[in-house]
């Protein structure tokens, strides 16, 4: 037993950490766009780190619990409600059979993607080690597509009750802010930063770029001042990492995201640092981005600090020693 979908919303997909280890065969990694929100959802529910959640885009679905389970909303606050009562994000709730979760049909003010985690995860057959939906490949998740009316999703190992339910929330001061309509995104230059003129690099790091409507789970296409290349914009195709910023010959940057192609033949000016990827994933059309270059050492230090802060927060509700062993063993 699990949930029954009354309305799928424009794009609600099943996602986990992605299809890892198959990019060498041409598969997109996929997975949640906002990895921190995925991690938070699973941490708050004592789930496995890679349990599957629902990723909601802009406008949420409506569904009914067919059996009781605990659940949580993370990521952007899209003002979801449980039986008409507005829910807080980053806080675990217990739902009973027949309870209805609904999202308003208007656009949110802040952030593009919300995540719905269920205790024990969702029961779908993993494909190559992942339950993530890869839309362009029509694979993974629920038949490789977004949710629609009448779909049923089963819980894998539901836990209608969780210890310390009241404590399962993030402290108010916990940094989950995704910023306003103008954000700073930190990047590490490379691997092909020397393909651009010094003026081109200066423009990239000093001028604002806007998110265009041609953005999706594959990439965020930006508009702004043209970044000139020294020579050709094409390279011999090489590997692409999450957050790579490629600049094709027209000179407008594209940030490659969860459903990115594994390889590509355009010059990559920089790569978004891991702790700022959620910020990119939460951008809406028209938002303004300014890039700032940082060092790899600094970026990795921020990532370790973020991890420590998450673990510290989780101690407030986490009591099972096995959980800590697992968490520490994974490092």
Partner 1 sequence: MMEKTRILLAGDSAVSVQFGDAIDPEIYARVRALYESLKGEKIPGVTELIPTFRSLMVQYDPRQLGYEQLKGQLEARLEKLGRAQQPPKKVITIPVCFGGSWGEDLEEVARYHDTTPERIVELFCSSEFLIYMLGFTPGYPYIGGVPRELVTPRLDSPRLKVPAGTVGIGGEQLGIYPIESPGGFRLVGNTPVRLYDPENRQTPVLLEAGEYIRFTSIGPEEYEQIRRQVEEGSYRCQIREG
Q: CA–CA separation, 112 vs 120, rounded Å?
A: 25
The binder of partner 1 chosen from 160, 179, 191, 228 (CB under 8 A): 191
Q: CA–CA separation, 215 vs 64, rounded Å?
A: 31
- Which helix (H) or strand (E) is 61 found in, with range? none
- Which helix (H) or strand (E) is 193 found in, with range? none
Residue among 109 and 305 whose Cβ is closer to partner 1:
305
Report if residue 49 touches partner 1, rule: CB under 8 A. no
**What minimum distance in Å lies between the beta carbon of 110 and partner 1?**
26
Angle, helices 296-314 vs 35-44, to 10°: value is 20
**What minimum distance in Å lies between the beta carbon of 37 and partner 1?**
18
Sole window of 23-31, 164-172, 223-231, 246-254 interacting with partner 1 (rule: CB under 8 A): 23-31
Report if residue 327 touches partner 1, rule: CB under 8 A. no
DSSP 99: -
Residue among 23 and 282 whose Cβ is closer to partner 1:
23
**Interface characters, 219-258, with partner 1 (x: CB under 8 A):** -----------------xxxxxxxxx--------------
- Which helix (H) or strand (E) is 263 found in, with range? strand 263-266
Report if residue 303 touches partner 1, rule: CB under 8 A. yes
Report if residue 67 touches partner 1, rule: CB under 8 A. no
DSSP 159: -
SS3 314: helix
The binder of partner 1 chosen from 153, 299, 313, 314 (CB under 8 A): 299
**What minimum distance in Å lies between the beta carbon of 81 and partner 1?**
36
DSSP 53: E
């Amino acid at each position: 037993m699990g949930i029954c979908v009354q309305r799928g919303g424009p794009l609600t997909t099943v996602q986990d950490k992605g299809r890892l280890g198959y990019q060498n065969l041409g598969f997109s990694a996929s997975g949640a766009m906002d990895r921190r929100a995925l991690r938070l959802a699973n941490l708050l529910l004592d789930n496995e780190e890679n349990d599957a959640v629902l990723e909601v885009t802009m406008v949420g679905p409506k569904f009914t619990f067919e059996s009781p389970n605990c659940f949580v909303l993370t990521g952007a606050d899209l003002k979801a409600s449980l039986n008409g009562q507005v829910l807080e994000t980053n806080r675990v709730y217990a739902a009973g059979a027949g309870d209805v979760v609904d999202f308003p049909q208007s656009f949110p003010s802040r952030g593009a993607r919300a995540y719905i985690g269920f205790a024990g995860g969702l029961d779908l057959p993993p494909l190559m080690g992942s339950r993530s939906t890869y839309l362009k490949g029509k694979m993974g998740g629920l038949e490789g597509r977004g949710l629609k009316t009448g779909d049923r999703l089963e819980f894998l190992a539901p836990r209608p009750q969780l210890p310390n339910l009241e404590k399962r929330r993030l402290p108010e001061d916990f940094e989950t802010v995704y910023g306003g309509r103008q954000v700073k995104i930190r990047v590490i230059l490379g691997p092909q930063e020397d393909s651009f003129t010094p003026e081109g690099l200066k423009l990239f790091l000093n001028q604002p770029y806007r998110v265009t409507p041609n953005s999706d789970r594959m990439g965020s296409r930006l508009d702004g001042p043209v970044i000139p290349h020294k020579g050709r914009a094409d390279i011999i195709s090489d590997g692409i990492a999450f957050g790579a910023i490629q600049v094709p010959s027209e000179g407008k940057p594209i940030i490659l995201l969860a459903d990115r192609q594994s390889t590509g033949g355009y010059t990559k000016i920089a790569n978004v640092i891991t702790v700022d990827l959620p910020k990119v994933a939460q951008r809406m059309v028209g938002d303004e981005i300014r890039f700032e270059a940082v060092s790899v050492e600094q970026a990795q230090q921020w990532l370790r600090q973020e991890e420590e802060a998450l673990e510290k927060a989780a101690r407030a509700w986490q009591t099972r020693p096995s959980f800590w062993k697992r968490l520490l063993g994974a490092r």
